């Protein structure tokens, strides 16, 4: 598990802000579900034979009740959707969420045991248009974050019947080759054979070469759905690759599946930024109505590492620098002046340690403050403040009220000139 220190938060907030804006552009509303759910919810929704449920959940029993720290957000969202009878009032529901998830995985760069996801779930639209629109929305978002080497992988799993037929065919094909399989895959041959297709193990890869593909078992409607998703992606000019061995690690998917990778140089093996797909039967399987759904989640740490957006980490706009010993009149006036600046919307800090002017200027620099308001004995006697502009390299004494106005004007003018710059082009 990972600490996120204040100096990294600027980048986190930037990604979160861009995500929240993207979500509102597409009509998604934020939902917050609990960090803890009943263990049975995850085993039913995600599948008993998945890595997540088999070995990665933090589960515990509290007063005889089996509980689990959520390893992902989809099951909880579907539970909330059913519990609050949302389908009765909304034909189509678009929810987004952000928050911590927990999986007992082996940590590496971009993979943690407590990690944050930004995700979304769309209930009530079975049409292929929304699959493609969701993928394109993600590409727009990731481009805005300036993430290099984006690659969209898509596949279709068909419906439950296709999966059952394919599962049988795969087991038939792999059983004579069982000696070639890794230990994990040998076990998966009975529990979850589709996962063998995902294996990175060389022996397994060799064994599945030449295996029947799921596409041979797709029904007509599944094929039509996938073709329509692809046609819509083409229409949107969203680049993608069909990856027919993509199955993903959660059992609930049907039809469209997708992953987006990026920044491979920085992230290496953990370069999957987003994973998602359709899960048209989860809501019904959990006891709700037959409502189709599709969603995805992105790993926030990975987005932060991958994004090449420059973030200026200015903690404050102004530093109030009283001179003298701690507790002197200048200090007391300084604290009041800082409060008055904040009333005008200026982010500021006051240094009451009794440090030298040089030390206080160094602190202003560290915090990214452009303005320094110096209050010494002379200024106190005259009711003035020295206003120092570190960008413009100017310093001027002026009456206290005028000093506040002056600081506000300078900072406003600077923020206007930033706002009026043409938007930066995204790649």
Residues that bind ligand HAM (CB under 6 A): 72-74, 103, 105, 110-112, 115, 117, 119, 121, 250, 272-277, 279, 295-299, 301-302
- Quote the least distance from Cβ 111 to ligand HAM, whole Å: 4
- Quote the least distance from Cβ 71 to ligand HAM, whole Å: 7
C-beta neighbour count of 42 within 10 angstroms: 26
Question: Taking a C-beta distance cutoff of 8 angstroms, is the pair 146, 427 a contact?
Answer: yes
246 or 375: whose CB is closer to ligand HAM?
A: 246
250 or 338: whose CB is closer to ligand HAM?
A: 250
124 or 295: whose CB is closer to ligand HAM?
A: 295
Short-list 122, 90, 49, 166, CA closest to 283: 122
- Quote the least distance from Cβ 270 to ligand HAM, whole Å: 7
Collect contacts of 200-205 with beta carbons under 8 A, ≥24 apart.
Answer: 204/180
- Quote the least distance from Cβ 266 to ligand HAM, whole Å: 13
Short-list 171, 144, 165, 297, CA closest to 219: 165
159 or 295: whose CB is closer to ligand HAM?
A: 295
Cα three-residue angle 93-95-99, rounded to 5 degrees:
160
Residue 421 φ/ψ, nearest 5 degrees: -70, 145
CA atoms within 13 A on the CB side of 372: 26
Q: In angstroms, what CA-CA distances link 240 with 22, 216, 243, 261?
A: 21, 21, 9, 11
Q: Which residue has the tokens 């997540």?
A: 52
- Quote the least distance from Cβ 14 to ligand HAM, whole Å: 18
103 or 400: whose CB is closer to ligand HAM?
A: 103
What are the structure tokens assigned to 91, written together? 């034909």
101 or 411: whose CB is closer to ligand HAM?
A: 101
Q: Which residue has the tokens 């008055």?
A: 340
DSSP-derived 3-state class of residue 140: helix
158 or 334: whose CB is closer to ligand HAM?
A: 158
Distance, CA of 212 to CA of 196 (rounded, Å): 13
- Quote the least distance from Cβ 246 to ligand HAM, whole Å: 11
- Quote the least distance from Cβ 287 to ligand HAM, whole Å: 19
Question: H/E element holding 95?
Answer: strand 93-102
- Quote the least distance from Cβ 237 to ligand HAM, whole Å: 24
111 or 146: whose CB is closer to ligand HAM?
A: 111
């Amino acid at each position: 598990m990972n600490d996120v220190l204040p100096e990294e938060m600027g980048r986190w907030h930037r990604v979160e802000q861009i995500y929240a804006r993207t979500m509102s552009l597409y009509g998604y509303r934020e939902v917050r579900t609990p960090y803890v759910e009943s263990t049975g919810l995850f085993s039913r929704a995600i599948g008993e034979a998945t890595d997540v449920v088999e070995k990665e959940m933090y589960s515990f029993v509290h007063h005889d009740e089996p509980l689990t720290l959520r390893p992902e957000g989809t099951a909880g969202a579907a539970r909330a959707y059913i519990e609050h009878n949302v389908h009765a009032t909304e034909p189509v529901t678009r929810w987004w969420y952000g928050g911590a998830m927990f999986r007992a995985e082996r940590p590496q760069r971009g993979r943690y045991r407590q990690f944050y996801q930004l995700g979304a779930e769309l209930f009530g639209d079975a049409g292929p248009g929304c699959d493609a629109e969701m993928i394109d929305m993600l590409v727009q978002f990731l481009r805005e974050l300036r993430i290099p080497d984006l690659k969209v992988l898509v596949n279709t799993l068909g419906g439950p019947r296709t999966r059952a037929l394919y599962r049988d065919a795969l087991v038939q094909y792999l059983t004579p080759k069982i000696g070639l399989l890794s230990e994990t895959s040998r076990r998966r041959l009975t529990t979850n054979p589709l996962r063998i297709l995902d294996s990175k193990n060389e022996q397994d890869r060799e064994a599945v070469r030449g295996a029947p593909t799921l596409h041979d078992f797709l029904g007509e409607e599944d094929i039509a759905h996938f073709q329509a998703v692809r046609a819509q992606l083409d229409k949107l000019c969203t680049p993608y690759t069909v990856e027919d061995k993509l199955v993903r690690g959660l059992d609930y998917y049907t039809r469209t599946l997708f992953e987006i990778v990026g920044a491979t140089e920085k992230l290496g093996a953990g370069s999957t930024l987003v994973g998602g797909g359709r899960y048209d039967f989860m809501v019904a399987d959990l006891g709700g109505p037959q409502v189709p759904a599709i969603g995805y989640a992105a790993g926030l740490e990975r987005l932060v590492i991958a994004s090449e957006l420059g973030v200026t980490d200015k903690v404050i706009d102004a530093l109030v620098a009283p001179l003298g010993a701690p507790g002197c009149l200048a200090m007391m006036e300084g604290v009041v002046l800082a409060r008055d600046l904040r009333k005008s919307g200026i982010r500021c800090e006051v240094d009451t340690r009794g440090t030298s002017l040089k030390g206080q200027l160094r602190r202003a620099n560290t915090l990214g403050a452009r303005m320094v308001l110096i209050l010494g004995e002379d200024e106190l006697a005259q009711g003035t403040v020295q206003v120092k502009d570190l960008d413009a390299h100017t310093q001027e004494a002026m009456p206290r009220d005028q000093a506040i106005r002056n600081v506000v004007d300078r900072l406003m003018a600077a923020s206007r000139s930033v706002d009026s710059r043409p938007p930066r082009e995204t790649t």
